[in-house]
Structure 1
Amino acid sequence: MNPRFFCPEGLCPDSEMPLPAAVAHHAERVLRLAVGDQVVLFDGGGGECAAILLALGKQPVARLGPRLAVECESPLAITLVQALASGDKMDWIVQKAVELGAVAMQPVAAERSVLKLSGDRAAKRVAHWQQIAVSACEQSGRNRVPAVGDIVTLSRYLAQPVEGTRLILAPGAAGALARKAPPSGPLSILIGPEGGWSPAELALAEHAGCEPLALGPRVFRTETAGLAALAALQTLWGDFSGEA
Structure 2
Amino acid sequence: MALHFLVDPPLIARPGESVELTGAEAHHAAGVRRVRVGEAVTVGDGAGAWLEGSVTAADPKLVRIDVISRVEHPAPARRVTLIQALAKGDRDELAVQACTELGVDAIIPWQAGRSVSRWNGPKVERGVQRWATIAREAAKQAHRAWLPVVAAPVSTSDIAARCGSERVLVLEPTATRRLSDVELSDGDVSLVVGPEGGIAADELDALVAAGALTVRLGDTVLRTSTAGPAALGVVNVALGRW
Q: Quick check: TM above 0.5?
A: yes
Looking at structure 1, the residues matched to 77 and 205 of structure 2 have their Cα atoms a distance apart, in angstroms, of 31
Call closer, same or farther: CA 1:22–1:203 in 2, change over 3 Å.
Answer: same
Looking at structure 1, the residues matched to 239 and 139 of structure 2 have their Cα atoms a distance apart, in angstroms, of 22
What stretches of structure 1 of length at least 5 have no aligned partner? none
Deviation at 1:74, TM superposition (A): 6.5
Call closer, same or farther: CA 1:154–1:200 in 2, change over 3 Å.
Answer: same
Looking at structure 1, the residues matched to 37 and 180 of structure 2 have their Cα atoms a distance apart, in angstroms, of 52
- Residues 3-152 of structure 1 correspond to what in structure 2 (within 5 A)? 3-11=3-11, 12-14=13-15, 15-57=17-59, 58-69=61-72, 76-152=78-154
The 10-residue stretch of structure 1 (54-63 or 222-231) with the greater mean CA deviation from structure 2: 54-63
Looking at structure 2, the residues matched to 159 and 237 of structure 1 have their Cα atoms a distance apart, in angstroms, of 23
Looking at structure 2, the residues matched to 105 and 178 of structure 1 have their Cα atoms a distance apart, in angstroms, of 22
Call closer, same or farther: CA 1:160–1:77 in 2, change over 3 Å.
Answer: closer
Q: In structure 2, which of residues 192, 195, 201 is the aligned counterpart of residue 193 of structure 1?
A: 195
Call closer, same or farther: CA 1:42–1:64 in 2, change over 3 Å.
Answer: same
Looking at structure 2, the residues matched to 162 and 79 of structure 1 have their Cα atoms a distance apart, in angstroms, of 15
TM-score, scaled relative to structure 2: 0.90
Amino acid at match of 1:3: L
C-alpha contact 1:164 1:183 (8 A) present in aligned 2? no
Deviation at 1:18, TM superposition (A): 2.7
3-state SS of 2:152 partner: coil
Looking at structure 1, the residues matched to 111 and 98 of structure 2 have their Cα atoms a distance apart, in angstroms, of 20
Looking at structure 1, the residues matched to 83 and 147 of structure 2 have their Cα atoms a distance apart, in angstroms, of 16
Looking at structure 2, the residues matched to 176 and 60 of structure 1 have their Cα atoms a distance apart, in angstroms, of 49
Amino acid at match of 1:27: A
3-state SS of 2:195 partner: coil
Deviation at 1:162, TM superposition (A): 5.7
TM-score, scaled relative to structure 1: 0.90
3-state SS of 1:201 partner: helix
Deviation at 1:193, TM superposition (A): 0.3
Looking at structure 2, the residues matched to 9 and 76 of structure 1 have their Cα atoms a distance apart, in angstroms, of 22
- Residues 216-231 of structure 1 correspond to what in structure 2 (within 5 A)? 216-231=218-233
The 10-residue stretch of structure 1 (38-47 or 201-210) with the greater mean CA deviation from structure 2: 38-47
Amino acid at match of 1:8: D
Amino acid at match of 1:50: E
Amino acid at match of 2:117: L
3-state SS of 1:64 partner: strand
Looking at structure 1, the residues matched to 180 and 54 of structure 2 have their Cα atoms a distance apart, in angstroms, of 47
Partner of 1:238: 240
C-alpha contact 2:26 2:62 (8 A) present in aligned 1? no
